[in-house]
Amino acid sequence: MNIAQRLDRLPLIPAHWSILMATGIGWMFDAMDVGLVSFVMPALQKDWNLLPTELGLIGSLGMIGMAIGAAVSGSLADRWGRRTVILFTLVLFGLATGLAGLATGLTMMLVARFLVGLGLGGELPVASTLVSELSPASVRGRMVVLLESFWAWGWIIAALVSYLLIPQYGWRIAFLIGVAPALFAAYMRKIIPESPRFLQQVGRYEEADAIVSRLEQAAGIKTEVKDTGTDLVKEKKFPLAELWSDSLRRRTLTLWILWLGINFGYYGFVTWIPTLLVGKGFLIIKSLQYVLIMTLAQLPGYFSAAYLIEVIGRKAVLIIYLTGTAVAAYFFGQSSTVIQIMIWGCFLYFFSLGAWGAVYAYTPENYPTRARGTGSGWAAAVGRVGAIAAPYLVGFIYQSLGKENGYISVFVMLTAVFAVTALVVLILGVETLEKPLEE
């Protein structure tokens, strides 16, 4: 029985939950940082007299950093390990967020947000890969969606910080609080192990065996005859071009389009909603209050997706939740009263974040261990192209067409993006439910 089989047969034990919690808190800090930018933008626009296109640049530069970070970290994770990359990226984006809080002008802010993006983009795909590789096969998808659910808590914290502190102390305090991930990395280093699948893949079999043996001992399972690990160490490097080999081409194409679409759609609305609501005549404090309520809808979105993903499969969950996001985006754009905005805004956050949870569960399952970091990282990197373009394009449309027509047009565009993405998954997507990670 090899390392992968031993990991897959394990029951859920406290060690799995500890790993999920520690990795999830890091994930939460990622979300908090992204959320802080969204909530800071109205105050920053007022303080620095920024145009909508300049605000869009702040979001887009961060996404450029995320694209580069995702691409580089995926390859590094396949070479140096998942744990090492996660810890480094936490320190990087935590310190860079503090730098953003000290920014004296737009240029310094853009540099800081680019550095933050490098760390954020690097941490997310590698963290989901680690949790996926350490989780038992029977609950692997659910565990990754639960990991993604920490994104909601990050946004809720960002909304609370912004709502309670920005009106009284200004926007800088929000970014300075964002230094916390750098401190948390020291604690996380003691909690999370390296992926045994990765260790075996690179020839460090004794380390892999030691980690799995500890998990088996905690689960009360007797360690069975083990392989030497030599059968999986024949090829340590994975060429990027192989993502487009006959066996992986369809999966890679599907994932790149999926990541591109959900990034464009999600960051198109989430970066701008507080500012767009201010443009509709709401005070900044009211705008932040409304978005805080909407973010609470993310939690049932995640938990429902976490349940359904092991029942109806990854592909079905993606199609349902992406379609639901498209419908919610359209009606949110048509809303004119507070009640309408709140109802469709909650649906928008519910479905979009449920879809995100499924994306992170689905992506690493499409690649073998030797390619998982690279494949997941490059899918995330390509997706960030959408995240780069969306904040700037939304700002351009909003500025060009005016507040009323621009608002409606933005959400019509986002509706189309989510709908097309759902269609691509329907036609090209491969179901991965209950399939071993090595297939």
Would you list the domain boundaries of the chain?
3-428
pLDDT in tens, 5-64: 899 899 999 999 999 999 999 989 988 988 888 888 888 888 999 887 788 788 778 888
Q: How many CB atoms lie within 10 A of CB 139?
A: 17
Locate all alpha helices (DSSP H) within 271-402, ordered by sequence. 273-279, 284-296, 298-308, 314-334, 338-362, 369-401
Contacts of 126 (CB under 8 A, 6+ apart): 73, 74, 77, 82, 85, 86, 89, 373, 376, 377
pLDDT at residue 228, as a whole number: 53
Closest to 150 in 3D by CA, of 259, 295, 287, 345: 295
* pLDDT, the chain, mean: 88
pLDDT at residue 114, as a whole number: 94
Closest to 59 in 3D by CA, of 250, 248, 273, 242: 273
Contacts of 13 (CB under 8 A, 6+ apart): 215, 218, 219
Closest to 272 in 3D by CA, of 94, 45, 93: 45
Contacts of 190 (CB under 8 A, 6+ apart): none
Average pLDDT along the chain, 439 residues, taken 10 residues at a time: 87 93 91 85 87 82 87 87 92 92 93 93 89 90 89 87 86 89 83 91 90 91 62 55 87 96 93 84 79 89 93 95 98 92 95 94 87 87 88 87 88 97 96 72
How far CA 53 is from CA of 49, 126, 248, 358, 391, in Å, comes to 12, 32, 39, 32, 9
pLDDT at residue 237, as a whole number: 58
Distance in angstroms (rounded) separating the CA atoms of residues 160 and 288: 9
pLDDT at residue 418, as a whole number: 98
Contacts of 40 (CB under 8 A, 6+ apart): 162, 166, 171, 174, 175
What topology does CATH give the domain 3-428?
A: Growth Hormone; Chain: A; (1.20.1250)
Contact 176, 348 (CB under 8 A): no
The structure's pTM equals: 0.79
Contact 110, 58 (CB under 8 A): yes
pLDDT in tens, 123-172: 988 998 899 999 998 888 899 889 988 988 998 888 888 888 888 888 89
Structure letter (DSSP) for residue 245 = S
